[in-house]
Structure 1
Amino acid sequence: MPSITPCLWFDTQAEEAAQFYISVFGKGKIIGIERYGEGSPSGQPAGSVMTVVFELDGQRFTGLNGGPMFTFSEAVSFEIPCADQAEVDHYWSALTEGGEESQCGWLKDKFGLSWQVVPNRLIELMQDPDRAKAQRVMDAMMQMKKIDVAELERAAL
């Protein structure tokens, strides 16, 4: 099976976004940049960035500068599984800078792309065979913006 590469449509910020995501995740690189030629049907200026192919921790993405007609929505998001609260705090802080917090670990970054910052412990607690415990954890999570692992642990007691 071929690998799947998400293509992210930006107005004009694909290269800026790629550099930002690489700085946030730390393990990444720009693979290649293609530029628009003269007389592009998109109306983008000749020489401006058309696509940026980049990698984040081995996952390839394409950023496309296609103009303002399409924007991101919460219908598509990227989930970041986090080992601990420190990872949650890192990704939450970096990705909400210039963006906006939402509920239950969801956020939008400064480019409007939605992310879910999910501690592994949340999943473990919600899968607990004690359904009352799992429900208390769910109820606590529903009150949060950024997920607080210690608060989830307290709710599980």
Structure 2
Amino acid sequence: MSIQNSRIQPCLWFDDNLEEAAHFYTGIFPNSSIGHMSRYTDAGPGEPGTVMAGEFTLDGITFRGINGGPAFSFNEAISFSVSCKDQSEVDYYWDSLADGGEESVCGWLKDRFGLSWQIVPTRLYELVTDADPARAQAATKAMLGMRRIVVAELEAAVDAVT
């Protein structure tokens, strides 16, 4: 069963910027779109015309969102991981999602809305699970010293193992 046919979907709590976030994210990921946005009417409780809840799809995965106010905010306990085929993809997603946000370590960042992302080249998985424990350890150690994951630096660390 694919996630878009699943009864389980991520639902994100925004303060009051769900619509802005939906535009931001759909501008970054391919195969993305903004779905229905429910807006407050004169019946309240929000200002008429402002978004109450909505849906957006990122690379084929549908997210629900609500503008729930400032009671809750995102933290690192929940993150979304983006698997990247090469350094070019790593750089694209890192630069796009970190714009207005905050870089962290080991391929993690927070976007401008405070949502955490892991931008991970598939090559990292291959290197940290190398059959040679010394090579795997070298890749892991190199990764732990990085913010954005740089494939060439990982491979150089692994190649330096004798």
| TM class, shorter-length | over 0.9
Amino acid at match of 1:151: E
For 1:116, which of 115, 118, 133 is the aligned residue?
118
Take 1:140 and 1:3, find their aligned partners in 2: how far apart are those partners?
39
Q: Deviations over 1:60-88 (max 9, x none)?
A: 00121110111000000000000000000
User: Unmatched 5+ residue regions in structure 1?
Assistant: none
| Runs of 4+ off more than 4 Å | none
1:6 maps to 10
Q: Deviations over 1:115-137 (max 9, x none)?
A: 00000000001111101100000
2:20 counterpart SS class: helix
Amino acid at match of 2:27: S
Point out the more displaced range, 80-89 or 27-36. 27-36
1:62 maps to 64
Matched-pair identity in %: 54
The alignment status of 1:82 with 2:51, answered yes or no, reads no
Alpha-carbon deviation of 1:23?
A: 0.5
Take 2:72 and 2:43, find their aligned partners in 1: how far apart are those partners?
21
Alpha-carbon deviation of 1:38?
A: 3.6
Q: Deviations over 1:83-104 (max 9, x none)?
A: 0000000000001110000000
Take 1:113 and 1:132, find their aligned partners in 2: how far apart are those partners?
34
Q: CA RMSD in A?
A: 1.2
Take 2:7 and 2:130, find their aligned partners in 1: how far apart are those partners?
33
Amino acid at match of 2:24: F
Show the 5 A alignment for 1:66-145: 66-145=68-147
Take 1:5 and 1:38, find their aligned partners in 2: how far apart are those partners?
30
TM-score in terms of structure 1 length: 0.94
Take 1:36 and 1:68, find their aligned partners in 2: how far apart are those partners?
18
Length, aligned pairs only: 155
Alpha-carbon deviation of 1:39?
A: 4.8
2:36 counterpart SS class: strand
2:33 maps to 29
TM-score in terms of structure 2 length: 0.92
Q: Deviations over 1:21-79 (max 9, x none)?
A: 01011320111110123454xx5323210112011111000121110111000000000
Take 1:114 and 1:26, find their aligned partners in 2: how far apart are those partners?
19
User: Unmatched 5+ residue regions in structure 2?
Assistant: none
